[in-house]
Amino acid sequence: MEVSLRPVSRSNVRAVCGLRLADDQRQLVAPAAYTVAEGHYEPGALLRAIYVDDEPVGVLLVEVESGTPYLVRFMVDAAHQRRGVGRQAVELLVGELGADGWGVLETSFVRVAEGAEGFWRRCGFEDTGRTRDGEPLFVRAL
């Protein structure tokens, strides 16, 4: 299984927009199509499809309007979760941002039981003790 990050393009946008979350995640993460749309209107945004081999299985969006890269959206299709895809995608993103000269990456999430906090901690993110839009703000050095 080879995980890669690729630009969202004319050739893959329909497949990316068709990615689905698990039922219990729908209130926590916006649909992939929203992410694609927002990514095209956010100045300086980094929008990437997450691939396993040659199949798009996720999408992520990073904004830098605050001067610090902020991972706004990160989703892996329900059928591809719990296989290490998300962790590998985070590492690829960290490598890309680090190569571009950034020093940290921030993200936030809706805090719920059995939610994403454990995932982000396993990916090396730490709680800053601050919030962003009412959500706990986590940071990782690049």
Residue 21: CB atoms within 10 Å: 18
Q: Which CATH superfamily is domain 3-141 in?
A: Gcn5-related N-acetyltransferase (GNAT) (3.40.630.30)
Structure token pair of residue 51: 């691939």
For the chain, the structural domain boundaries read 3-141
Closest to 74 measured CA to CA, from 43, 46, 54, 111: 46
Helical H segments across 4-142, by residue range: 13-17, 32-41, 85-99, 117-122
Query: What would the pLDDT profile of 68-99 be if each residue is shown by its tens digit?
Result: 999 999 999 989 998 999 999 999 999 999 99
pLDDT tops 90 at residue 9: yes
